[in-house]
Structure 1
């Protein structure tokens, strides 16, 4: 795992944001909270997850499978079926603390989409919408004040893009949040069919203290991949599918032309991610022979880093890649770089923002085995892969049921009228249909980004609006890698380490900074020994111990 491209999962979600946030949680829990908190792996393993009842409202063009391959749609269903004939609630107010990665939308008084959403939900939806870069500070303030909204999306991202969370999260949830197990476990979830449509693996990431404490936002297991500009590569006449590291290095050299303002890849982090898979490095952690080893401690990591140093010296990496907030997506779309590592969810965004016109075409580059002889296994992004989960503040049973009804509406599946409205707004005002897909208007782009998709969402699907061939390409890539993808054992087993939740940003920063210093030539490769030593001393060894103890109990 390159610390420049960390997947979002249960471990990284819970990374400690700041001492202030962690301290606030401790202060709010009370002295007796630890006695109520049983977050042992055994207690969590015994929780009966919600029954999985796949929706049959809409049939996909390309089917999913049990291993995590997502359903795909080549066009939005027309006409889309309507699920709800009446609002889920009948008045009142619901408050929620949510994030957004987009500019904050207009307030409700100047936002027709928000007003129509209230009407369709049957409630006055009061949202505290926070930019992701401000989540750590705002969440800390929220906890300090102890004035919690009904629905809470915990802080996810630090300003530098490293995932962030809260220390002592299980303890805090046991005291301040609702255990949703009676409402969701087993067949109880059938009362909320759209929530029952979320695959079971995603719910495992919401289990704490021997109960279900949140609603997941489901994402596929395909995770981060190496995107390539097929349209430009074809014009250069090079093989788009290198079969070994040597062929990949040759590819990078051939497509790079500094005089033409074109480099092989946007940054060295993407190279680390790809080459670690080529050499067989573990995805996060390796559990073997009763021993747990972090990827940074392995010889495979050292080998990958050595190769990235060589590629960087070759000049195949964009020269401005180490700049703060480097516009890597813009470089990729502009053709300044032909490769970029990103989540599979970026596929539609690249097409929506492309400036190359109708010839623009991208796909995923599979990592070959280092010395050739086939394809290397890829890394899964997580077990059931969630971006985040949403907790409910403590409330009476009637209130919790109302909130679950609202969330059931927000989880309406892809292909329905409700999903289309929730994501794109009203046709004519917020979007237009073009070539079988919705295209946002300026009003839609500004008004619809309320952050409600981070409260809960329908299971993810593959769909690139207006580009059926791109949807097919995305589906084909996932189908080719899912069956051989490799999970992180700590994530796949739903483990929780409080030390990891506090120290992961610090530990990740140690590795990232050391890795960058070596790649940029500021330190020799031998500097990695010091990085590993500091990583272990500053918390890595303790994290290993906490995870190991849990893995041993599950054997």
Structure 2
């Protein structure tokens, strides 16, 4: 059958060059609706925009939709409030839009009600792809216990093997919506042509969007079915749509028809992803009848495991100051006080919100856990009050960089410049920043390390572990079966792990143009690669890799491998991670209001003594109703 050559179609079937403008060139209803939604959010004064990438915070800076001049002028007049990062003390409920009591999707008749629902992950469902182990082309030097203790390469594979020697091939052109933190690549970029040739002919063109507004804008795109042929959503983004479970069923393609059973002949790497990844990508039309109404609606992105993030410190600056690595909260405060020098522009602490909760033994993920035989939330626990007091204290003492919590704070840059000693981030910082500093030659003494578990008042150590999948690539339900199969061919190719030809092209680009090989055989970006390819988010979105592997300089790989092993005994995950829970209506708004009150306490705008009343209000307005849902799930998980 003929392939669709353009990403966007009007309702009548004709292709359109832009999904957001009508034939007269005016602003479409989608763009107008998006702008009105943003205006409503800002006027509400409750807008709490969050995005997540390595500890950065950012305000809503623009709507990622093409607007006419009138709309742009309206947009300029909006006043975006200061925002804060999504934290682990979140109530585990819904996202910022509906949390603020703003039902963006209330006009869509397909969307379900607000009584709450539960979908349990089930690796025994017959619709799942049959797991077939995929053998790595090159055996790792360090063999761990995936997923929480991944294996790794100390030496780069030589020769670099292909994971997919004979791509299935195709001739379609498809567009995929993604957020992008790096340089944007034009449709006609030779890189896309090279990738199409390597994959057998299929061409993917990525609509790379400003990540600052991607989450909220994606709700509007999906509602209007104007997201090309597919869209990547990180798992935390889905909470922006209070009825996301229904949206999945109504807007995205059910992949079960082509993925059920043994798919290892055509898609061996997808078959090797395993039941955990695929069962996390299942949604049911009727959660009460999952056996008959479930379908695979997403291609799973990265499978999580091991320690979730890191709390990094400048080891060279710590040693230079004659200070010891802290092992307790009390020691951490002593080090922070000794190192901070406000007049000199030095503050010991950067971001702390999601890494420090483990220090107080608070629960990761949903925040709900069994404590002394009862299901309780972090909000209610005495440890939470101690954590809030700690957060307030480090600010009152001036130990935190003054830009933390504002769009101006760039933790990576601040730590690199020596403005902060400690900062939280994803694991890429441990390898990327030292490599960038070494390449620049700016500081030969630069050394970055990571803190192990920190304890408080003699408590037992805890480190928060990652679980589930980080997101999904959702395909449009307007695609034909053959088109879905062709995109799965691409996803299978992109599931190639580190140390393969495919992964090199995905991450580094074209050899000789975007990267060259160092003496150790590893790819290294050229100046052209840094300018046009590094951090440009594209083919990585098509699928998570078949197996997560540690790769990089030998010393870095060994350190990460050893660190993972060291925290395994104290690694704690969300005990409800196998359940997809939509709480009752009103619970999300209660959670957002509670977070605002906590933020006021932390920043000195309210007394710590007001926390108890805030907790009581949260429980009355939605916390207790949500507890009832989690109690039922807990009973199910225990087999009661």
TM-score, normalization: structure 2? Answer: 0.74
Q: Hey, what does 1:310 align to over in structure 2?
A: 393
Q: Hey, what does 1:41 align to over in structure 2?
A: 119
Q: Hey, what does 1:58 align to over in structure 2?
A: 138
Rounded Cα–Cα distance in structure 2 between residues aligned with 1:206 and 1:352: 35
Q: Hey, what does 2:363 align to over in structure 1?
A: 282
SS of the aligned residue for 1:208 comes to strand
Rounded Cα–Cα distance in structure 2 between residues aligned with 1:461 and 1:43: 25
1:380-399, Cα deviation, whole Å (9 max, x unpaired):
13x23x32111223344433
SS of the aligned residue for 1:407 comes to helix
1:393-404 equivalences in 2 (<5 Å)? 393-394=476-477, 395-404=479-488
Q: How many residue pairs were aligned?
A: 527
- Asked if 2 retains the 8 angstrom alpha-carbon contact of 1:231 and 1:360, the reply is yes
1:62-118, Cα deviation, whole Å (9 max, x unpaired):
223045112222343232112334443221222322222224x13122x22122122
1:402-417 equivalences in 2 (<5 Å)? 402-417=486-501
Q: Hey, what does 1:440 align to over in structure 2?
A: 525
1:141-174, Cα deviation, whole Å (9 max, x unpaired):
423433453322237778xxxx754232222222
Q: Hey, what does 1:350 align to over in structure 2?
A: 433
Does 1:462 pair with 2:550? yes
SS of the aligned residue for 1:526 comes to helix
Rounded Cα–Cα distance in structure 2 between residues aligned with 1:254 and 1:174: 55
- Asked if 2 retains the 8 angstrom alpha-carbon contact of 1:41 and 1:550, the reply is no
> CA 1:41 to 1:387, structure 2 compared with 1: closer, same or farther past 3 Å?
closer
Q: Hey, what does 1:540 align to over in structure 2?
A: 623
- Asked if 2 retains the 8 angstrom alpha-carbon contact of 1:74 and 1:471, the reply is yes
Q: Hey, what does 2:632 align to over in structure 1?
A: 549
Does 1:237 pair with 2:317? no
1:459-492, Cα deviation, whole Å (9 max, x unpaired):
333234xx3212222222222113421111222x
> CA 1:333 to 1:503, structure 2 compared with 1: closer, same or farther past 3 Å?
farther
User: In the TM superposition, what is the alpha-carbon distance from 1:338 to its structure 2 partner?
Assistant: 1.1
Q: Hey, what does 2:205 align to over in structure 1?
A: 126
Rounded Cα–Cα distance in structure 1 between residues aligned with 2:523 and 2:181: 20
Does 1:171 pair with 2:257? no
**Aligned pair partner of 1:81 in 161, 165, 175:** 161
Q: Hey, what does 1:224 align to over in structure 2?
A: 309
- Asked if 2 retains the 8 angstrom alpha-carbon contact of 1:286 and 1:489, the reply is yes
Q: Hey, what does 1:368 align to over in structure 2?
A: 454
**Aligned pair partner of 2:193 in 109, 115, 118:** 115
Between 253-262 and 467-476, the greater mean CA deviation after superposition: 253-262
- Asked if 2 retains the 8 angstrom alpha-carbon contact of 1:363 and 1:473, the reply is no
Rounded Cα–Cα distance in structure 1 between residues aligned with 2:223 and 2:376: 37
- Asked if 2 retains the 8 angstrom alpha-carbon contact of 1:15 and 1:164, the reply is yes
User: In the TM superposition, what is the alpha-carbon distance from 1:191 to its structure 2 partner?
Assistant: 3.7
Rounded Cα–Cα distance in structure 1 between residues aligned with 2:582 and 2:444: 48
Rounded Cα–Cα distance in structure 2 between residues aligned with 1:353 and 1:157: 29
Q: Hey, what does 1:488 align to over in structure 2?
A: 574
> CA 1:229 to 1:546, structure 2 compared with 1: closer, same or farther past 3 Å?
same
Between 149-158 and 542-551, the greater mean CA deviation after superposition: 149-158
Q: Hey, what does 1:142 align to over in structure 2?
A: 221
SS of the aligned residue for 1:153 comes to strand
**Aligned pair partner of 2:339 in 255, 258, 261:** 255
- Work out which structure has the larger RCO, using CA pairs closer than 8 Å and 6 or more positions apart in sequence: 1
Rounded Cα–Cα distance in structure 2 between residues aligned with 1:452 and 1:508: 36
Q: Hey, what does 1:377 align to over in structure 2?
A: 462
- Asked if 2 retains the 8 angstrom alpha-carbon contact of 1:194 and 1:408, the reply is yes
1:379-423, Cα deviation, whole Å (9 max, x unpaired):
113x23x32111223344433322211110111111111110111
SS of the aligned residue for 2:150 comes to coil
TM-score, normalization: structure 1? Answer: 0.84
Does 1:98 pair with 2:178? yes
User: In the TM superposition, what is the alpha-carbon distance from 1:287 to its structure 2 partner?
Assistant: 2.4
Rounded Cα–Cα distance in structure 2 between residues aligned with 1:248 and 1:114: 48
SS of the aligned residue for 1:23 comes to coil
Rounded Cα–Cα distance in structure 1 between residues aligned with 2:368 and 2:592: 17
> CA 1:405 to 1:357, structure 2 compared with 1: closer, same or farther past 3 Å?
same
Unaligned runs of 5+ in 2: 1-54, 56-83, 285-293
**Aligned pair partner of 1:296 in 375, 379, 396:** 379
Rounded Cα–Cα distance in structure 2 between residues aligned with 1:130 and 1:309: 36
1:180-233, Cα deviation, whole Å (9 max, x unpaired):
334435544564121233354333321211332211112433112211111221
> CA 1:64 to 1:339, structure 2 compared with 1: closer, same or farther past 3 Å?
same
- Asked if 2 retains the 8 angstrom alpha-carbon contact of 1:21 and 1:143, the reply is no
Rounded Cα–Cα distance in structure 1 between residues aligned with 2:117 and 2:86: 29
SS of the aligned residue for 1:129 comes to strand
> CA 1:535 to 1:76, structure 2 compared with 1: closer, same or farther past 3 Å?
farther
Rounded Cα–Cα distance in structure 2 between residues aligned with 1:538 and 1:101: 38
User: In the TM superposition, what is the alpha-carbon distance from 1:311 to its structure 2 partner?
Assistant: 3.0
Unaligned runs of 5+ in 1: none
Does 1:389 pair with 2:477? no
Between 111-120 and 388-397, the greater mean CA deviation after superposition: 388-397
Q: Which runs of 4+ in 1 moved over 6 A?
A: 155-158
More helix by share: 1
User: In the TM superposition, what is the alpha-carbon distance from 1:507 to its structure 2 partner?
Assistant: 5.6
**Aligned pair partner of 2:504 in 420, 438, 452:** 420
